[in-house]
Chain A
Amino acid sequence: MATKVHMEALSPTMEEGRLVKWSKHEGDPVKSGDTLAEVETDKAVMELVARADGQLLKVMVPEGTTVPVGNVVAWIGKPGEKVDGTGSQESGAGAPKPAPNPAAAAPRPAATAPAAPVAVPADATRVKASPLARRIAKEAGVDLKLVQGSGPGGRVIKRDVEGGATQARAAAPAPGSKLPAPSGAPYEDVPLTQIRKTIAKRLLASIGPIPHFFLTTEIDMERAAEAREALNKQLGDEGGKISFNEIIIKAVALALVQHRACNAWFQEDHIRYWNEVHIGMAVAIEDGLITPVIRNADMKSLREIGAESRELAGRARNRRLKPEEYTGATFSVSNLGMFDIDQFTAVINPPEAGIVAIGSIVAKAVPDGDRVVVRRRLRLTMSCDHRVIDGATGAVFLKTLKQMLENPLAMLL
């Protein structure tokens, strides 16, 4: 007997889905678990997967059509098998507004249903899951209907709901809280959750291979400037004066320690969250640009960062950098302050997920209570790879960075 393929509820609130694209075509062999079609839900484009083996006998719904959850969109069966070409009774691409409860649309077969007890037709209302998977899903509050089963016949098993639980947590706010605890290794690889895959796919289609977005903040540098002057006064003639560049690199590195979600690489099927902080520092050279790396910048003093960045920049201009000196950064800083640029956006250096662009520090009139005072201000823009960093994640990182620069003593914490 041929098996119906229903429009499934691919999100908890989905009532209808738009069939974006058929991944399989009539006559194609299909196996349980294969992607049949891409379906746009109210939240994202999701995959509609086969829940039976055989051949895709008939496609009932053309691409671009929106159909209610529970309607038959295709048939799977043995080659040559006859199917009901009219679709399900409540179907029809132009059906006005059914949106039936899927449970009502597809009543469970009666207990006395004859024949072939093993071939219970897969439908949109019944999820095959191991007892353990059901228990874990219940405890974690995961909707089994949203979990793609990897067991035989699409059975949801333990490893699927463990993934599903991750997915459910990822959907909640609290950016950064989902990272595994640092293990002592240099980094942690975290497989892409469904939501991250979808974000990656959708945003790429929109903006190119790296879906950038930008967050700009204006930072009061008055106290950082005072601190810098005091430090340099103390250094006197010792040389190795502290510049704003070192202060910013150090602050970025320390803020990344607190926000590991931004200290990451996008890697095809997983995100590598680094436990070490290596800051790439964009340096303009004669006919281009290179980013030497200050390794473990969070653990270095301002003078060390200063000495190292001057030395690296010098050799960069002379083209004397070794490959290991300009690769392996986990995050980058690009500074055009010396060129009198108020503010700019920097392009991410893949596979890093973020870069901050530093404009000039300029004196500005700013309100201070009911007075206007002149303060030295910096406009800083962070470019984020949206596949890794969401708006809120980037924003909380920038908030920490701003606090550190506005109160440099915070860096001592």
Chain B
Amino acid sequence: MPTLTYRDALNQALREEMQRDPSVFLMGEEVGVYQGAYKVSRGLLEEFGPKRVVDTPIAELGFAGIGVGAAMGGLRPVVEFMTWNFALLALDQIINSAAKMLYMSGGQIRIPIVFRGPNGAALQLASQHSQAWESWLAHIPGLKVVAPATPADAKGLLKSAIRDNNPVLVLEGEMLYNLKGDVPDGEHVVPIGKAEIKRAGSDVTLVCHSKTLSVAQKAADQLAEQNVSAEVLDLRSLRPLDEAAILESVKKTNRAVVIEEGWPHIGIGAQVVDLIQRDAFDDLDAPVQRVTQADVPMPYNKLLERAAKASPEKVVAATRRVLYLD
């Protein structure tokens, strides 16, 4: 199986879908001539021409609205945000137009659109550019939200997102773009709404997604040295959430730690914990723990930034608590 970076896996998904379906087109800031701020769209302008790879002005609300209109008109737009921090400016189109149109038109108007871009913190980009938006976005009925953690999942989920007849938000990661991994050639589709056990274990379930997969995996390595067998469950999709996979794992391990990049208050983990306490109550041996970003704007200072982020050490500490080891 070929080894690709996360960036090239996304590029491959875009290229294959644009080759397969002429109604698919890419639009966003710097996606054409500059080939993308993070080079995800490398070579696409050359292959598909300026009608299908469209550079936009710096006007997120405007081009998100053009995308929604194009989707209403029968096209399948892929709208790239340079980061999801900038997508705040486009939320009215995403939430009030894309997410609502099918419902408010009585099922007549579908919006098959993909909004994608990097989400969450990178390194020292300060508080305005270091935010994880998934709990905001997954809050909205009418949207689907996926957050691939590996190159293979990035390709498979972006393909599913482009083929889906609903608005799908793809949350990528600046720190993930260089991540390498095996990516199947050609038709590799990961269904939306399916979590995956990335590492099997028996003592605790570490629920994670996107960048926190690597946090969970490092924690699982450290825990293994302490004779704790951790299962790492990568949610992959945040809406819909693979509730069955979460419950099945927790029923096996009886304990869970939920990890996310975002803030603790009303985060993704809160939703996961709600599910576990309701539907796996009799299987729980300890209260579920959460590991999140500290409840502060992301500090710019390098050491403070590191201290604020979810880390393997925090996951190990939380795991020891659910196992009553400390």
Interface of chain A, main secondary structure: helix
For B287, the closest partner residue in chain A by CB is A130
**Contact assessment for B324 and A157 in the assembled complex, using a CB-CB cutoff below 8 Å:** yes
Please pick, from A132, A150, A151, A157, the residue contacting B283 in the complex, using a CB distance under 8 A: A132
Of the candidates A132, A133, A157, the one having the most CB atoms from chain B within 10 angstroms of its own CB is: A132
Minimum Cβ distance to chain B for residue A31 (Å): 15
B225 at the interface (CB under 8 A from A): no
Of the candidates A131, A135, A151, A159, the one having the most CB atoms from chain B within 10 angstroms of its own CB is: A131
**Contact assessment for B281 and A131 in the assembled complex, using a CB-CB cutoff below 8 Å:** yes
Which residues of chain B are near A134, meaning CB under 8 Å? Answer: 282
For B284, the closest partner residue in chain A by CB is A131
**Contact assessment for A131 and B282 in the assembled complex, using a CB-CB cutoff below 8 Å:** yes
Within 8 A of A (CB), among B94-149: none
B285 at the interface (CB under 8 A from A): yes
The 3 A-B residue pairs with the shortest CB-CB distance, nearest first, are: A132-B285, A158-B285, A135-B282
**Contact assessment for A157 and B282 in the assembled complex, using a CB-CB cutoff below 8 Å:** no
B286 at the interface (CB under 8 A from A): yes
**Contact assessment for B324 and A132 in the assembled complex, using a CB-CB cutoff below 8 Å:** no
**Contact assessment for B324 and A131 in the assembled complex, using a CB-CB cutoff below 8 Å:** no
Minimum Cβ distance to chain A for residue B276 (Å): 11
Give the CA-CA distance A132 to B281 in the complex, in Å: 8
In addition to A131-B283, A133-B285, A159-B324, 5 A-B residue pairs with Cβ atoms within 8 Å of each other are: A130-B285, A130-B286, A131-B282, A135-B282, A157-B286
Within 8 A of B (CB), among A145-186: 150-152, 157-159
Which residues of chain A are near B285, meaning CB under 8 Å? Answer: 130-133, 157-158
Give the CA-CA distance A159 to B283 in the complex, in Å: 13
For B286, the closest partner residue in chain A by CB is A130
A sample of 22 cross-chain residue pairs with beta-carbon separation below 8 angstroms, ordered by A number, consists of: A130-B284, A130-B285, A130-B286, A131-B282, A131-B283, A131-B284, A132-B254, A132-B282, A132-B283, A132-B285, A133-B285, A134-B282, A135-B282, A135-B283, A150-B324, A151-B286, A151-B324, A152-B324, A157-B285, A157-B286, A158-B285, A159-B324
Within 8 A of A (CB), among B273-291: 281-286
For A158, the closest partner residue in chain B by CB is B285
Give the CA-CA distance A159 to B255 in the complex, in Å: 13
Minimum Cβ distance to chain B for residue A135 (Å): 5
**Contact assessment for B282 and A158 in the assembled complex, using a CB-CB cutoff below 8 Å:** no
Give the CA-CA distance A158 to B284 in the complex, in Å: 9
Which residues of chain B are near A158, meaning CB under 8 Å? Answer: 254, 285
Minimum Cβ distance to chain B for residue A161 (Å): 10
Q: Return the CB mask of B270-309 against A: 1 if under 8 Å, else 0.
A: 0000000000011111100000000000000000000000
